[in-house]
Amino acid sequence: MTPEDVRDILRTVEDPDLGDDIVSLNLVNDIRVEGDTASVSLALGAPYAPNETSIANRVRDALSDEGLTPDISAHTDTDSSVLPGVKNVIAVASGKGGVGKSTVSVNVAAGLADRGARVGLFDADIYGPNVPRMVDADDHPKATQDDTIVPPEKYGMKLMSMAFMVGDDDPVIWRGPMVHKVITQLVEDVEWGNLDYLVVDLPPGTGDTQLTMLQTVPLTGAVVVTTPQNVAIDDARKGLRMFGKHDTPVLGIAENMSTFTCPDCGGHHDIFGSGGGEEFADDNDLPFLGSLPLDPRVREGGDGGRPIVLDQDSETGDAFRDLAGNVANMTGILNRRSLQ
């Protein structure tokens, strides 16, 4: 069996999203054959994304069916000088406050880490940093002799937040240049190490922090969070336009606080309307990443420091796990399309 024979076998494996075989899509980096072992390096850059895991499994099955022992690895080039060890930087944004953007950020990051990915969570909401409370992070960053910052970890995530730098009740009253300086420092001077995903919780709106992130950080893509109501959709549209002006891909739309299920009567109530996020995604030809129910346990998890996505026996936890998987899938699609 030669590498070309193996390549022909791999032509039978299709990408479920891009609609062609992985050889034609340039998703095979390298093939080596030693005896009965076929070592294949795949250009897959979204670790633990369900669809990329499926591709790798189908490659294993195709090789095994031909009597070969598969040895599968994945590699994509990362050329960022700002965050050289980080494969994907995902911004979570909203046009307005109060739509649960930080809740989505925390649960997406924790959901990816729970799948096995190496994850960092950067709370870039300078004026209202909530992430440490939402994950019950007791430890604080430590400084090294080289004046770099070692982030604490919780639930398998490396954490950084302005909340670590100021007192619990101290307001942050800064103008734009100071915001730019601090955000840049918290990105570049933190020892993030090798990460599959760095999830960035942006503040609401389209201000200085967002501009700094768009100009200095190599964002892979953004998730726009909204509720179903028209007021939130109007502001989400502005956030969408912001990413468009800076050529940042939008991975999709997440609709939070969708439907409330009454624990007493079992009835379903659309407190903030219904379907607005999905309609917004359709109108802008964007993926709809999922609806997240209005559930008191989400608030309890945020206040208590344990993200609902880690609750394996909850339908709401399932919804957040699906969201994390869809975010990873869209990240993978974006990366694989870039190879075409």
277 has binding-site annotation: no
Q: Is 100 marked as binding a ligand?
A: yes
Cβ-Cβ contacts under 8 Å for 280 (sequence gap 6 or more): 226, 233, 236, 237, 253
CA–CA separation, 159 vs 123, rounded Å?
Answer: 8
Q: Are 338 and 302 in contact (CB under 8 A)?
A: no
Determine how β-strand 119-123 pairs with β-strand 157-161: parallel
266 is in an annotated binding site: no
The angle, 0 to 180 degrees and rounded to 10, between the axes of the packed helices 50-65 and 315-337 is 70
Q: With residue 303 as reference, give the H or E element that holds it.
A: helix 296-304
User: Do 206 and 97 form a contact (C-beta atoms < 8 A)?
Assistant: no
Q: How many CA atoms lie within 13 A of 261 on its CB side?
A: 9
245 is in an annotated binding site: no
User: Residue length, the chain?
Assistant: 340
DSSP letter string, 192-251: --SBSEEEEEPPSSSSHHHHHHHHHS---EEEEEE-SSHHHHHHHHHHHHHHHHTTPPEE
- Establish how many alpha carbons lie within 13 A of residue 52's alpha carbon, considering only the half-sphere containing its beta carbon: 27
- Which residue type, as a one-letter code, is found at position 115? R
Residue 90: beta bridge partners?
199, 221
Say if residue 102 carries a ligand binding annotation: yes
180: CB partners within 8 A, 6+ apart: 208, 212
The answer on whether 99 is annotated among ligand-binding residues is: yes
Question: Is residue 215 classed as helix, strand or coil in its secondary structure?
Answer: helix
Residue numbers in the known binding site for ATP are: 95-102
Residue numbers in the known binding site are: 95-102
